[in-house]
Amino acid sequence: MDDLTEMLKGTLEGCVLEIIGGEETYGYAITRQLNELGFGDVVEGTVYTILLRLERNKLVQVTKRPSEQGPPRKFYALNAAGRRELATFWAKWEYVTTRIEKLKEGGR
Amino acid sequence: MNIWETITGSDLTREYKAFDGRAQALPADHRAAWEQIKAELLPYGDFTGRNLMPILDGALGLLEETAAQGQGVDEVLGDDVAGFCAALAGGEGSRTYRDRWREQLNKNVAKKLGRLGG
């Protein structure tokens, strides 16, 4: 599905949080995982800016590790604040989706 | 940073040169993207452009990392370099030229008004 960018905007940060919450990982792997999920529009730059924001908001713990090729890679893991943020994201998601579903079914 | 560097921005010139040196090692398409990123980020600079340095460093790092992995530039930045740069600069709390102008204008107006009132 193309042109999901606008719709994804508000939720991508939560998706990245969820992926990091699974296991410690790095930017490229996160992008790949999102692509495999079917979000082909997501490029590494997008994920990079999200990771920057998460780092700035102190939701992740960052570890630099040397990689086989190129400069050292930054690995990201959720800290306590990040896990709280993730729980909040899912709560909001639940709220929005149930209401939109209701709307779709013609309920008020 | 000593006072001489603060005034002349000589440390920035040095840093800029270092960035471009690193960029020389990038493949052609990544290098082109680097030039574009620099141009896009410029309006987000404060008076000296010092606030852009860590942002540029990060963007260059991303280009280096992805070039080493053999990713094409479109896989990295997509087709929206401007949006990428806005996202990069936006969260940084970086003040732009426009903010400074606005602030100055506000201050001047406030001063004038104050004088009138007093």
Is there a contact between A75 and A19 (Cβ–Cβ < 8 Å)?
Answer: no
Domain A4-107 has CATH 3.40.50.10490: no
Tell whether A10 lies on the interface with B, counting CB pairs under 8 A.
no
The beta strand positions in chain A, using DSSP E, are 25-26, 60-65, 73-78
By the 8 A CB rule, do B63 and A43 touch?
A: no
Q: Say which of B69, B84, B88 has its CB closest to residue A28.
A: B69
In chain A, domain spans: 4-107
Q: Does A48 touch chain B (CB under 8 A)?
A: yes
A28 and B88 within 8 Å at the Cβ level: the answer is: no
Residue B44's pLDDT is 83
Q: Supply A45's token pair.
A: 């730059």
**Digit-coded pLDDT (tens) for B13-72:** 888 899 999 999 999 999 999 999 999 988 888 777 788 888 899 999 999 989 988 889
Domains and CATH numbers, chain B: 3-117 (1.10.1900.10)
Cα distances from B35 to residues B58, B59, B72, in angstroms, run 14, 11, 16
For testing the chain B interface, which of A2, A26, A43, A75 should be mutated: the one with the most B CBs within 10 Å? A43
